[in-house]
Structure 1
């Protein structure tokens, strides 16, 4: 940007240094205000203040995001701007991660062991991302390894009180530990990290069989080796392993008694990533990276202690990505890239393959081009196009355009206006076409539909960010997403055999989501900051005029950060989610709910922090007797912990 003569960047060096740098919107690092694609950031300070242990906990305070439980599994998925989790692409350092059900990414399965920040782009505004990015992109940016040495240890434990699975309020219901060691020279650097999160689960009635919160043990370990042969070049290899053991317990009514049911699931994920980045004196930059990931799941189902089913699922993902940034030319920044993606799925139940071909495969080849045009010191135009060729559905072209205008600056005010228009495209994933979810013990089955067609969308984003000095920031964004052939579970045409309802997926002819996102941050005084964010969303199934299910109209976020004394901070996080439609046929709705979290941090010596928190302070919990109530499952949760950091890194 500097080589293109961005005078605005040079005019306010101190202000601009306060802006977080982002890469997800354009795949080129630039200050958030200078990005033509609106990007929201969860930084290290927020992660430390709120004690986030997983990607799910890190995202729960981002304005407008809806986190909801994955049906029949021990995890959470993400929805935004009225589009579901299948439309949100989740990345780690720009590379995709496997979905827990070959469709939905389980945010609880990604522990935050070495994260610098998390970036969120809403809508299909960026040409850099293809299928599954119709609703937006979440990109987890790893922390860079610095020369020197550094070690970190964190331990914490918490309790749901009398809802602990053991029924004893005084003992831990969850324990967590993280250990990381890293460092090296100017040329070679190494990081080793491990994380264990062990939850015993919780129950509204610990004396009964049913647990409303599953018992889940999650373990993650990773190693990263980097070689920096030159100042602006790097080669790296990153390998990680994840293991999850969970147990679900519930009752199923078989007249005249309730029969205890149990399901266990063992999950392993092996991920290997390698890549290289080079920047030359001419301004040319190149990046090549790739991954191989194995995701295996082994599920056992029991009824009254008798084994009733065994499922094994194996998903393999390979992805390679190339990006070339050309030197600045006549105030233009050209970027070219290519992605190659392949995933394979195999599934067996009781030793018998459930997929017609034994194993199904999807291959996608994608090319993209982008031109970032610096029109003058105030105007910037980003034009992009992405071509995608899918092994089963052929080729598709998706153009994108974004415009940024820096508003005239006053003595106290500065700001930008942004507008983005893009085409989104998503082919049906392997789950929707081939997977079989057999939850007969719960009274239903969901079968894949091989006749599904790809979804497409048009996304319009129009917004502004305004700053008044360093004390007040206001952000507003209006959005409109028009979707063709939206894929939904077909609840209206279920077949029932022997009391088991069988559902499948279908393409909704047309759907629309629209709304307004607003956010306000006020630094009221030294050591006191307040923020508020409100999102209003309207959705409509244009084939019948009804709103789409599981999309709340109103989402409100409130936050307060207070430095109570020089070494101590107090933070409050409040969330309100309005009612949401659960079933179009019966018009059943899940009621609105509100939760408040309280966080405390005390630095008692350099690199030594004691922390505590109360999640769901006022003990807001759903009515478990109402199947249409999707409010918070977990009640009040207390925890204590300590974090120790030592090292010689700058």
Structure 2
């Protein structure tokens, strides 16, 4: 039995239950106002000093950064994972359906090797995996997707990259907006928001909620050992989900140079854990809740731009029914403070520094030995970065280093980046560095059923390099780049007699790939975008069963393409999302077929104040039957109707991609 693969998968399932490169947008030529969409592109120049120091463009000026504006997907009935999947280098692992667990694989790193932040607050749970189904798209203004090792910029955990979820900010004009959609499988989603001046500052309050029965039909192979036998149609059971929450943001100016920004996010959700098609779970449930809060003071004085913030996140996860070994409750708490500053030293040096101190702890699973203990540790790190301008700012060198103490581990993450401006709209960027992931509390201390902890684990490490060439014109942008990552001391679960599994450092792997993306706007009323990823991974463990085999759940090819066109009163859109077959075990004996989804939609927008948009979305138009992981069916054809309205202010969100 391939225990590393199966036990590793069990970890992913247990943890899931317990829990583009923005183009510098070119102005559209004068003409009739129509809703064309912005598309991801590679940022190759240092960010302007006017951006906050904690923005991804400031923290990594040479990085492979994709910024995705959620307003570009207004009316398209998408969730956070679907939007992020349009970025190159990003693959989604999906348990299937609204509200079910979804996680990211970036540049071949495991799901626990990608940091997900909510306005800088880490969302990765106790097992190191962030569940994107618990990030409602209604809260999000944009996603900052930084691909490649991010230890120097963001600290432990960013082996494959970092996703920063930037929430909506209050405006200085009064605005009331909302959106409601209804569609297949009694799926209902909606949100309402009010924003505007309050006293001497500004405030935003947003409430959201949704539910779905999730009982879509799928084709099931009742006898996989018999090739060619007919498939049986079944209905997905115990796949329902519901959730609600809210976001409160306050901004207040303190004099002419300082600003105070406060955030409070609350959410609660409940879902069935349906299991795989071969091994369904008829009654397993998960209920969860989260509170996240932060206070940030930012400003600029005497040429120094900086910020200081304090933040906290608490997550509660409860598992009931289902297998006895997976039942229990867990609470994780994470909090910290951070100071960041940036200044210009002379004409050639832009120096940035970050100091962070945080603490975290987690309860044990109920019923496990030591259930009353709450293991915890402190983290402290310091990062220094310099942006050196040479040759009249045609060349920028960006060296940086972060030193971090995470519990008993001391981590060093250096990086050197470079950007080069070339004639005729061309530019180059390149990076080389090292990053780490310290073992999670789940792996170190917490027993869950047959999954045992191992307090002697070592941190995982990645050595990486990437480079890309970018070309820009007034109406187009194209980017092509390659990357190489060497992952060492990977943590995987092995059989621990008589029946349990225990994590060990034993594996190493490499990932080599190509990323391409672009946009084209020949006319104000027509736009297109695409992204493509080639990923070739190899297991380097010194074991003939696995050596030089591809890593499971890493599709070799992934393509996303979309186009929209038409006047404001009737805009059409079409999108294709396809990925190649992928292996589901380390011996390459089991294969998950490739899939292609075709989505299409129409939107009509009327009025200015108020502004009303009505949209029809057809997802998986060809009713492709597909599954993910080791047997989680994905929904077939679906239809959704969305109505969005906005009064006052400006509503980018009601635009149509």
TM-score bucket (shorter structure): 0.7 to 0.9
**Alignment partner for residue 114 of structure 2, among 83, 88, 92?**
88
Structure 1 residue 251, shift from structure 2 partner:
9.3
Show the counterpart of 2:229.
Answer: none
**Alignment partner for residue 45 of structure 1, among 52, 71, 91?**
71
Gaps of at least 5 residues in structure 1 are 1-11, 165-172, 439-444
Show the counterpart of 2:584.
Answer: 582
Structure 1 residue 552, shift from structure 2 partner:
1.0
Deviations 1:581-604 (A, max 9, x none): 111246211111111111222102
SS in 2 for 1:108: helix
Structure 1 residue 327, shift from structure 2 partner:
3.6
**Alignment partner for residue 438 of structure 2, among 416, 427, 442?**
427
Show the counterpart of 2:521.
Answer: 523
Query: Does residue 104 of structure 2 align to residue 78 of structure 1?
Result: yes
Show the counterpart of 2:476.
Answer: 472
SS in 1 for 2:408: coil
Distance of 2:490 and 2:340 partners within structure 1: 31
RMSD: 3.3
- TM-score, structure 1 length as denominator? 0.84
**Alignment partner for residue 548 of structure 2, among 534, 545, 556?**
545
Query: Does residue 621 of structure 2 align to residue 617 of structure 1?
Result: yes
Distance of 1:532 and 1:238 partners within structure 2: 34
**Alignment partner for residue 272 of structure 1, among 284, 293, 318?**
293
Distance of 2:26 and 2:529 partners within structure 1: 25
SS in 2 for 1:261: coil
How many residue pairs get matched? 591
**Alignment partner for residue 387 of structure 1, among 387, 403, 423?**
403
Show the counterpart of 1:230.
Answer: 255
Show the counterpart of 1:196.
Answer: 209
SS in 2 for 1:432: helix
Gaps of at least 5 residues in structure 2 are 1-24, 29-37, 220-231, 542-546, 652-657
SS in 2 for 1:178: strand
SS in 2 for 1:57: helix
Show the counterpart of 1:170.
Answer: none
Structure 1 residue 357, shift from structure 2 partner:
7.2
Show the counterpart of 2:423.
Answer: 408
Structure 1 residue 209, shift from structure 2 partner:
9.7
Q: Where is the strand percentage greater, Structure 1 or Structure 2?
A: 1
Structure 1 residue 43, shift from structure 2 partner:
1.2
Deviations 1:277-323 (A, max 9, x none): 0211x2112201121111111211158xxx89741111111122110
Deviations 1:15-37 (A, max 9, x none): 9xx998969999466989x9322
Between 611-620 and 224-233, report the one with greater CA deviation.
224-233
Q: Relative to structure 1, is the Cα distance of residues 587 and 76 closer, same or farther in structure 2, using a 3 angstrom cutoff?
A: same
SS in 2 for 1:464: strand
- 8 Å CA contact 2:599–2:617 kept in 1: the answer is yes
Show the counterpart of 1:183.
Answer: 196
Distance of 1:141 and 1:551 partners within structure 2: 27
SS in 2 for 1:46: helix
- 8 Å CA contact 2:238–2:282 kept in 1: the answer is no
Q: Relative to structure 1, is the Cα distance of residues 49 and 259 closer, same or farther in structure 2, using a 3 angstrom cutoff?
A: closer
Distance of 1:176 and 1:294 partners within structure 2: 25
Between 126-135 and 400-409, report the one with greater CA deviation.
126-135
- TM-score, structure 2 length as denominator? 0.83
Q: Relative to structure 1, is the Cα distance of residues 251 and 150 closer, same or farther in structure 2, using a 3 angstrom cutoff?
A: closer
Show the counterpart of 2:343.
Answer: 326
Show the counterpart of 2:466.
Answer: 461
Structure 1 residue 465, shift from structure 2 partner:
1.1
Structure 1 residue 348, shift from structure 2 partner:
3.2
- 8 Å CA contact 2:152–2:435 kept in 1: the answer is no
